[in-house]
A and B are shown apart, each in its own frame.
Chain A
Amino acid sequence: MQEFEFDGVEISQDTPLISNLDIKENIALIKEVHEKKERQSAEKEAVMMLDKLGMKHISNLRKNSCSGFEILCAMVARAFMCKENSIVVKMPFGIDNSLNDIDRLFEKIYKLNGIIEKKVTVFDLDSNRYRYERAECNILK
């Protein structure tokens, strides 16, 4: 089996949101730590990204109050805040068990790609291949 090596940012069940921070704080944390950006400015940027995703209402909520899809989108927004140009989403259906249509996620990724351009790769099991066949993406094996 061909192995893919990525230096990018990981979005998976192994990289959950921090539960004692609200959604905007989770997203802003990256800029505060890596770019030493002031909290207010980083949080403003985080809220702007959530607004772009149509999820401004979850800015002040903690992950326990959000749906699986909202958490997944917040994780994507957080990854877009990183300096790395490539993002790897590992098994999105495992992160959000209620996700039926992968296009819902791709639609959000395209929206964020309109602000910051990143190369996004989704890793999934071959048994989930059928879920991607109608989506607008290249499938590699």
Chain B
Amino acid sequence: MLSFIENIGQKTINIVKSVYEASSFVSELILHVFYPKSYNPAMIMVLVKQIYFTAIGILPVFVFMAVLFGSGVIGAIISLALKYNLQSQIGSIIVTFSIDEFAPFFTALLISLRSSTAVNTEIAVMKVNKELNTLKKYNINLIDYLFVPRIISGIVSVTSLSALFAIIMIASGFVFSFFYMGLDFWTYKNLIFESVEIKDIVVLVLKGMAFGFVTMVIPIYSGLNAFNSYTAIPISVLNGMVKLFIAIFFIEVLSLMLQLM
């Protein structure tokens, strides 16, 4: 009985300790994003490279996926809306679904699969190879040089790619509206413009920023916590990805709940 209570106590202490460590790490990261002294030519170079790898390098695959999945999903939504006689609501259905929900969520998933895994592996490899130790010994701040550029690139990339995904989805919506409902381009354009509200843009930007932040912070933290052996790298990536996907779903559910309130 005593050992059972001790176990619960030990587990609680461990959880509180890891939550405290993670939150102090995240708050330090956020502070450094706003410190002007975090920005130097080396850091800016890393930032440019990161934005290139995260947002530009993925573009061909991303556009292909957006056209493929965007068209499929928007086609299904339009046909369902017609089935339930919701023609009058079609504009707001397309806008809400593509801008508020599907675009940021799908973009976050794609960026997680491509860039977050890379960042997690990179940081874990640097730790195991003692390269992080080199940076510390040469008084190069890890947060400024390695982490802040990745966080900013995550936020910029996920937000801008979410907007691109939403535009592609809405454009695909026109093709389906044309064939299913016989809507011409101008009518469709007016329908969409009348349905878009400031709230939709705010939701897209905020969700993009939140997704972008977690897609980089969680892999960085997981990579940093890898043990000093090569066999620890895949375990670190695995743990990081599981936590990241939980965080993405949590943000999605939270945003849905906030919008319903």
Interface residue ranges, A against B (CB under 8 Å): 9-10, 13-20, 29-30, 32-34, 36-39, 42, 78, 82
Choose one: A14, A16, A36, A78; the contact of B41 (CB below 8 Å).
Answer: A36
* Inter-chain contact A33/B145, CB cutoff 8 Å: yes
1/0 per residue, CB under 8 A from A, across B109-136: the answer is: 0000000000000100110011101110
Bound: A41/B15 CA distance, A: 48
With A33-B145, A38-B41 already in contact, the answer to whether A16 and B129 are too (CB < 8 A) is yes
With A29-B42, A33-B42 already in contact, the answer to whether A19 and B131 are too (CB < 8 A) is yes
With A32-B40, A36-B40 already in contact, the answer to whether A9 and B138 are too (CB < 8 A) is yes
Choose one: A18, A33, A39; the contact of B134 (CB below 8 Å).
Answer: A18
* Inter-chain contact B41/A19, CB cutoff 8 Å: no
Bound: A33/B135 CA distance, A: 11
Bound: A32/B131 CA distance, A: 18
Would you mind naming 23 contact pairs between A and B with Cβ atoms under 8 Å apart?
Answer: A9-B137, A13-B130, A14-B137, A15-B130, A15-B134, A16-B134, A18-B126, A18-B131, A18-B134, A18-B135, A19-B126, A20-B122, A29-B42, A30-B138, A30-B140, A32-B41, A32-B45, A33-B42, A33-B43, A33-B140, A33-B145, A37-B41, A39-B41
Report B122 CB to chain A, min CB distance, Å.
Answer: 7
B85 within 8 A of partner (CB): no
B259 within 8 A of partner (CB): no
Q: Which residues of A contact B126 (CB under 8 A)?
A: 18-19
B3 within 8 A of partner (CB): no
1/0 per residue, CB under 8 A from A, across B14-57: the answer is: 00000000000000000000000000111101000000000000
B187 within 8 A of partner (CB): no
Bound: A55/B72 CA distance, A: 57
Residue of B nearest to A42 (CB): B41
Report B2 CB to chain A, min CB distance, Å.
Answer: 44
Bound: A35/B216 CA distance, A: 28
Q: Which residues of B contact A19 (CB under 8 A)?
A: 125-126, 129, 131
* Inter-chain contact B40/A14, CB cutoff 8 Å: no
Q: Which residues of A contact B41 (CB under 8 A)?
A: 32, 36-39, 42
Bound: A18/B145 CA distance, A: 13
B139 within 8 A of partner (CB): yes
Report A88 CB to chain B, min CB distance, Å.
Answer: 11
* Inter-chain contact A15/B137, CB cutoff 8 Å: yes
With A34-B139, A38-B41 already in contact, the answer to whether A17 and B145 are too (CB < 8 A) is no
Bound: A30/B131 CA distance, A: 14
17 other A-B residue contacts (CB within 8 Å) besides A9-B137, A15-B137, A39-B41: A10-B137, A13-B130, A14-B133, A15-B133, A17-B131, A17-B134, A18-B131, A19-B126, A20-B122, A29-B140, A30-B140, A32-B40, A33-B40, A33-B42, A33-B140, A34-B139, A42-B41
Q: Which residues of A contact B43 (CB under 8 A)?
A: 33
* Inter-chain contact B138/A15, CB cutoff 8 Å: yes
Q: Which residues of A contact B137 (CB under 8 A)?
A: 9-10, 14-15
Bound: A14/B137 CA distance, A: 9
Bound: A90/B135 CA distance, A: 17
Q: Which residues of B contact A30 (CB under 8 A)?
A: 138, 140
Residue of A nearest to B138 (CB): A30
